[in-house]
Structure 1
Amino acid sequence: MKITKDFKFGFPDPNAPEIPGETKPYRHFTLKPGEPLQDNTVIPTVYENFMHGYNETEGKGNYLGFRRIVDNVAGAYEWITYEECLERVKNFGSAILSEKIGLKPNEPLGIYSINRPEWVISDYAAMFNSIITVPLYDTLGLQALQFIINQVEMKVCCAANDKAKKLLENASSYPTLKKLIVFDEIDDELKKVSEEASIEIYYFGDLEKEGKENRKDFILPKNETVGCICYTSGTTGNPKGAILTNDNLISFCRSIRNLRDNNLFRYITHEDSYLSYLPLAHVFERVVQNTVTYFGGKIGFYQGDTSKLLDDVGVLKPTLFASVPRLLNRIYDAVWDNINKTGGLTAWLFNFAYNSKKRGLKRGRNTHWLWDRFVFNNVRNKLGGNVKAIYSGSAPLSADVTDFLNICFSCDVQEGYGQTETVACLSLTDKWDMESGHVGGPMSPVEVKLRDIEDMGYLTTDKPYPRGEICVRGHSVFKGYYKNPELTKEVLDEDGWFRTGDIGIWDEHNRIAIIDRVKNIFKLAQGEYVAPEKIEEVYLKYPIVNQIFVHGESLESQLVGIVVPKKKEFIDYAIANGVDASLPFEEMCKDKSIIKKLVSDMNVHARSHNLKGFEVIKNIYLEPHEFTEAENLLSPILKVKRGQALQKYRSIIKGLYDELKRK
């Protein structure tokens, strides 16, 4: 398909009424005017979705892959077929319905583990019996765990053994939790801790055997049966439990099916393989896996250690790769750092080929018979060499990185936009559209509109393009927050429109471009609104910045930041600017002269990327240690938790402002 100058990826519903302060709802261009949103009669539930993939391979195709670790060395991938998976789901499902475990439809089953086959089997066993799964994030803090378990009144939880131990050590904090099902064999220590906590503990494998001997029929869900309560990690306060039905969970896959039928999405088959490492407790990973499953593809799980991810990639050699901008940005930085350090003819040739292919992107082409083979092949091999499609979600991907992926990997690069509350299904870029800087048109199960945010100056009457808060309605939109009607009412109106909190525009092709955020903004003392995430994205492109947290106060006129520098790059930079080379890294980070120099250089970079004067950082603290999930400073999708970061660095931020006042 050729993207012409006048092509539109969405169209305003001509039958919708004109409402002041809003655009008309926009729909996917494959829908006809007046036609309802893509319905849910095909693949109505997660069960039908799995069975479609099962039938694609007649049950014989490899499905779930894992690497057995012996003496700290991971072996080759071992596979469970679709047929074997279904048998294990029947067995385990029968066990959790038995009197011993005692779960009933519409009751919650917790899952607390890294991604692995047992996670998927537990999830299916619950949902195929109309039991609600409640995933617990692998690195949730104790307070959040307590809140979730107590809010849903969880009685039974499946867990990896290390997570089971963590739950048992704090068992008094959640009195409803009475039974744990652990994925690996139970050792004496775990048995002892469970006895002390007065919690029954069962081995997953034993329950599978018992379920096989006492098989029960599935209690299959319907379209509107709740399948999952997915808690958002949040950046402040307690997590929120989004109530997701089977209809919600399968909407993304139905949309992909529609795109594929119209040659707008890569043809996926049972021969395709996908590396699973993003947390399954997050909707982005879940909908990607649902889609791979629908087409009968293979899902290989990582070892559980992201530092060994490239080893897993090298062994699996996936054809499909889904990621988040943070990791893709690291690949981008690593390649360019290497090219710049190498210099000479190699760097000249890389840049020449890069710019040549970048011009090709404007013509809708990301392949080149010569450059792909001789210049970009080494970059392509970083993801195993077989990748045919890269999907990005959870946060905006910068235009530079989108272009980089298209140029270096010569594959389909598609960016999705959505939230937990829309089960990652709101908009998606088209495989034929290689223009960066947007997140595509509306997906077929939903309709999307913008509404005025007057106090920020974003109006749907703005020229040349309408601007406003992105709102969505349709099959993917959640049913509300669990036991929180007040918060539900704030974001979900009586007509079913969910207010995303993101500011967007409709561009010339009726695609959505995200330009700001309603919630994560500061109003500085001079009255200017500041969106820190947008500013952080710019500073993260500076070669010395590894992580950054930007903050502003309503009584202050300037911004400050906490910066985690890249260790090697910062040491080289500091020495080149007169810092004693014998000093430890931590001491270099305290050097006021180098901090002043770095702020100046960072702001030259910031202004070159069109940040306004009030958007640049005036003072920074150099943090020598990375923000981590274990410290509760990063969400599972690696976004900075603003509330927690502010709490940790509040005194330092005060000191940064005090320094500015003394200048």
Structure 2
Amino acid sequence: MPGAFAVPSSEVPGYSPIYRHPNYKDGSINGEFSDITTLHELFAHTVETRPDEEFLGTREYFPKTGVFGKYQWITTTEANDIVRDFGSGLDSVYATYAPECNSVTDQQAIGIFALNRPEWMMAEFAAFRSRRYTVGISDAVGVESAEQTINTTGIRVIVCSIDKIPRMLDRKSMTPSIEVVISMDNLDCSKPSAVTQAINAETVEQLKAKASSLGVVLLDMDGVIKMGQANPTAPTPPIPSDLCTICFTSGTGGAQKGALLTHKTFIHATRGAYMTGHQKDITYLSFMSFAHIFDRYTIYTFMHDQIRVGFFSGDVTKVLDDMQVLRPNIIAGVPPFLNRIYDRIAAATIGAGGLVGFLSRMGYRSKTSRIRSGGGFKHALWDALVFNKVAKLFGGNIRMLISGATPLRPDVQNFFRVCLSCMVLQGYGQTETAAGGLIQGLDDYSDDNIGMPNPGVDVRLRGIPDMGYNVSDSPVPRGELMIRSNILFSGYLNQSQADLGMMDADGWMATGDIARINSDGSFSLIDRKNNLIKTATVLWIEPGPVEAIYSAHRLVSYVFVYGVERAYELVAIVVPDPESFVPWARIIAKDPEADLVELCKNVDVAGELTKELRKTGAIKRLPAPAMIGAVHLEPNSLNQVRKDFYTSSFKLRRYLVNQHYKPVFDNLYSHLDCVTDPTFSLSGTLSLN
């Protein structure tokens, strides 16, 4: 397929041409599934076209042994019955306990607070049945995050897993709006699961008493379903302009913001993605938090045809075990998760010694050449000798792996193509675009790009001259990625896009991401606009590529760089790789018994490691402003130092890391002679792409 289509005569000063999907040059997505206009209608479509087929699955749990078994399924028809009855029951609950509408619209909100599971999806569709909208709640980065979501939205009714209830009641004073809590798990403890292990009949009675004392109505889903069966109500379906969810951004650039997403937005995003690459008879593993947007977007995309959704067993470190039981053919993940799996598998294959390593590397080169030449993903010899064993770790049935949220390293993308013998596609979207935007085509075997616009999405670049990014740059245009489409959100809760300067008069949203348009018509991300480091030479340094170079050193696990405008060099937080670092550092410290923590405090060790990293920078031809002048050795990974350094979608909050280590950075710079008078300047730009 050709690259993105440049709309003729669409260039204006400071902007690139407008780009669209080459098969939808007029910018529309009329045609297939155009009769589906809301997520309520999408669910009805699934039930109508695939009645009594397996739809939502969870692994059977054996409480005596704590072991998970095979997947057990709810059919589309059974799910529809639950949605109908639970939705009717919710009508009674709201009429009795929370009849008012939230201030956002004339609709009512319902909070959902749990790990991904069938009840999460069915609660959402039950809400849509009566024009309610959902608010996903996450505590992945701390209890305060969940409370902020509840208080910002003023939620009165929450559906949650039973393990969340004790803490919610303990901290009820922090979330005064809550009036009704509906447990996904039976309060009579009749259906044991992994989340009910700490709950028994006595515990439940204590919870009921505490809820009553706090004025909170405590129910369970089965009870609400029985209410609905006893008093069925007719649906009041949403219209496309109705709000369907408030999804809170993961907070990479600051405080979390609640993005307002309508049914029209979600349908346009998912339908456009589906039209990019039709897939049939899908089995999908869901493990990325529903409180965010990516996993729901992926599932709703494939609901345009047929999909079985198997949910992970609750422990992300054991997702491969879930895959081996479910045997999915499509999975989606974010780069940090995929990178961790890559590190483990690559070390045992292409990074191994002896015959295994030799054969793996030979097979890897052969399959890479075959794939890139269009010869297909399979290779009878090398798959049988090496790669089928890797594929079995993922269930042996994967035909598509989708990566989003942040750019996936080219070597990791190609590695999974080779080992899993499948398409590995990178896409791009934000919470503000309902996760839609751009994605690689099914026949795209390249890497280091996010593909081209989905059908119905206009994309262009805006030059940022003061940072050295211009649409006139040679050999390819560079600038801030901008999107115009029906996939755009309606604004943030209590704020509009215009208030934040995100939307221009022609309906274009500024994403804050810097991209380039490649010669083949694809787009590649360079970095976040607000992540660039300005040095004393007035060169803007992209921290991501610099950190990747330093982090590849054998002695380190991760390097985080920091710079200030008054300094000629960077300083860094370095997390060592314990296996290689400790033996090396003991020699430097002349202490064969020193542990990792002691070695990280050793000044001589820090000095020698700085020299090692500078050698790496020189070998990679980094310019002087990108060289590291001093390091602080951190024995713990950043997510161990502070959990909220990473968002629940695994994005690094650079501003929090900078803030936390500011005294350390200041101390490092105080001992360097690379600091200059801040009035000194030399114009220019540094780019590693």
1:599 and 2:583 correspond:
no
Q: The residue matched to 1:479 in structure 2 has which SS?
A: coil
Match of 2:312 in 1: 302
Q: Please state if 1:36 is matched with 2:47.
A: no
Is residue 21 of structure 1 aligned with residue 14 of structure 2?
yes
Aligned partner (choices 554, 560, 565) of residue 554 of structure 1: 565
Paired residue for 2:361, among 338, 351, 356? Answer: 351
Match of 1:422 in 2: 433
Aligned residue identity for 2:237: L
Is residue 2:659 matched to residue 1:642?
A: no
Paired AA for residue 45 in structure 1:
T
Amino acid at match of 1:277: F
Q: Secondary structure at the match of 1:331?
A: helix
Task: Name the residue aligned to 2:199.
Answer: none
Amino acid in structure 1 at the alignment position of 2:216: I
Change (3 A) 1:642 1:211: same
Instruction: From 451, 454, 478, give the equivalent of 2:465.
Output: 454
CA distance change for structure 1 residues 465 and 94 in 2, over 3 Å: closer, same or farther? same
SS at match of 2:672: helix
**Which of 628, 643, 649 is residue 631 of structure 1 equivalent to?**
643
Going from structure 1 to structure 2, the CA distance change for 1:602 and 1:198 (only over 3 Å counts) comes to farther
Report the equivalent of 2:130: 129
Deviation of the 1:411 alpha carbon:
0.2
Return the alpha-carbon distance in structure 1 between the equivalents of residues 627 and 674 of structure 2. Answer: 19
**Structure 2: gaps of 5 or more residues:** 188-203, 676-689
Alignment match of 2:597 (pick from 586, 595, 604):
586
Partner AA of 1:89 in structure 2: V
CA distance in 2, matches of 1:30, 1:171: 53
Paired position in structure 2 for 1:80: 74
Give distance in 2, aligned partners of 1:191 and 1:548.
49
Whether 2:370 is the aligned partner of 1:377: answer no
Distance of 1:22 and 1:147 partners within structure 2? 38
Distance 1:167 1:653 in 2: 39
Partner of 1:620: 631
Note the C-alpha offset of 1:569.
Answer: 4.2
* Number of the residue aligned with 2:45: 52
Question: For residue 188 of structure 1, what is the aligned residue in structure 2?
Answer: 205
Contact 1:503/1:516, CA 8 A, preserved across alignment = yes
Provide the residue aligned with 1:509 in structure 2.
Answer: 520
> Cα deviations across residues 122-176 of structure 1 (Å, max 9, x unaligned)?
1111123211111112324344334332222211112222323333222222322
Aligned partner (choices 33, 39, 61) of residue 68 of structure 1: 61
- Measured at CA, do residues 487 and 628 of structure 1 come closer, stay the same or move farther in structure 2, by a change above 3 Å? farther
Q: Distance in 2 between matches of 1:513 and 1:573?
A: 38
CA distance in structure 2 between the partners assigned to 1:339 and 1:607 by the alignment: 30
Q: Residues of 2 paired with 1:486 and 1:357: CA distance?
A: 46
Give the Å deviation of 1:392. 0.3
State whether residues 324 and 395 of structure 1, in contact with CA within 8 Å, keep that contact through their aligned partners in structure 2: yes
Label 1:35 to 1:589 Cα distance change in 2 as closer, same or farther (>3 A). closer
Separation in 2, partners of 1:312, 1:607? 44
Q: 2:201 matched to which residue of 1? A: none
**Correspondence 1:658 to 2:670:** yes
More moved, 165-174 vs 222-231:
165-174
Amino acid of the residue matched to residue 640 of structure 1? L
Q: Give yes or no for contact 2:471–2:478 (8 Å, CA) kept in 1.
A: yes
Q: Distance in 1 between matches of 2:27 and 2:428?
A: 24
Greater mean alpha carbon deviation, residues 76-85 or residues 134-143: 134-143
SS in 1 for 2:661: helix
Q: Provide the C-alpha distance between the structure 1 equivalents of 2:13 and 2:351, rounded to a whole number of angstroms.
A: 55
1:534-575 deviation digits (Å, cap 9, x = unpaired): 333444444554444332223333222223334334335545
Deviations 1:345-365 (A, max 9, x none): 221221111112222233134
Check if 1:92 corresponds to 2:93: no
Match of 1:394 in 2: 405
Secondary structure of the 1:100 match is helix
1:628 alignment partner, SS class: helix
CA apart distance, 1:452: 1.0
1:235-250 equivalences under 5 Å are 235-250=252-267
* 1:591-640 alpha-carbon deviations (Å, 9 max, x no partner): 33333343343444455556433224333323223333873121011122
The reply to whether residue 527 of structure 1 matches residue 527 of structure 2 is no
Cα distance in structure 2, aligned partners of 1:377 and 1:410: 9
Task: Report the 3-state secondary structure (helix = DSSP H, G, I; strand = E; otherwise coil) of the residue aligned with 2:639.
Answer: coil
Corresponding residue for residue 455 of structure 2: 444
Given that residues 250 and 287 in structure 1 are in contact (C-alpha distance below 8 angstroms), is that contact kept between their aligned partners in structure 2? no
Query: Is the CA contact 1:38–1:445 (under 8 Å) kept in the aligned structure 2?
Result: no
Give the stretch that moved more between structures: 305-314 or 430-439: 305-314
1:113 aligns with 2:114: yes
Contact between 2:550 and 2:613, CA under 8 Å: does it hold in 1? yes
1:444 to partner: Cα distance: 0.5
2:6 partner letter: P
Distance 1:240 1:108 in 2: 17
SS at match of 2:531: coil
Cα distance in 2 for residues equivalent to 1:268 and 1:604: 51
| Residue number in structure 2 paired with 1:222 | 239
Amino acid at match of 2:603: K
Structure 1 position 501, deviation (Å)? 0.9
Q: Secondary structure at the match of 1:632?
A: helix
Secondary structure (helix, strand or coil) at the match of 2:582 reads: helix
The one-letter code of the counterpart of 2:153 is: V
2:419 to 408, 427, 431: 408
Q: Distance in 1 between matches of 2:78 and 2:172?
A: 34
Which residue, out of 319, 326, 345, partners 1:335?
345
Runs of 5+ in structure 1 lacking a partner? none
Q: What secondary structure is seen at the aligned counterpart in 1 of 2:232?
A: coil
Cα distance in 2 between the residues matched to 1:577 and 1:377: 44
Q: Is the 8 A contact 1:505 1:515 kept in 2?
A: yes
Counterparts in 2 of 1:203-218, with a 5 A limit?
203-218=220-235
CA distance in 1, matches of 2:506, 2:399: 40
TM-score normalised to the size of structure 2? 0.88
Q: Would the aligned equivalents of 1:123 and 1:133 in 2 still touch at CA under 8 Å?
A: yes
In the aligned structure 2, how far is the partner of 1:196 from the partner of 1:552?
54
Deviation at 1:236, TM superposition (A): 4.6
Aligned to 1:173: 174
Are residues 371 and 623 of structure 1, via their aligned partners in 2, closer, same or farther at CA, if it must alter by over 3 Å? Answer: same
Q: Say whether 1:479 aligns with 2:473.
A: no
Q: Which amino acid aligns with 2:131?
A: S
Residue 682 of structure 2 is matched in structure 1 by none
Give the Cα–Cα distance (whole angstroms) in 1 for the partners of residues 76 and 443 of structure 2.
32
Return the offset for 1:228. 0.6
1:287 to 297, 301, 304: 297
Code of the residue aligned with 2:234 in structure 1: it is D
Equivalent position SS for 2:408: coil
Question: 3-state DSSP class of the match of 1:62?
Answer: strand
Distance 1:618 1:38 in 2: 57
Q: How far apart, in 1, do the equivalents of 2:207 and 2:124 lie?
A: 24
1:261-296 per-position Cα deviation (integer Å, ceiling 9, x unaligned): xxxx5x321xx3111111111111111111233322
Q: CA, structure 1 residues 486+378, in 2 after alignment: closer, same or farther (shift >3 Å)?
A: closer
1:9 alignment counterpart: 3
Matched residue SS, 1:126: helix
SS in 1 for 2:480: strand
Letter in 2 for 1:656: L
1:273 aligns with 2:269: no
| Residue among 333, 336, 341 paired with 1:326 | 336
The Cα shift of 1:231 comes to 0.7
CA distance in 2, matches of 1:609, 1:137: 41
Alpha-carbon distance, 1:454 to partner: 0.8
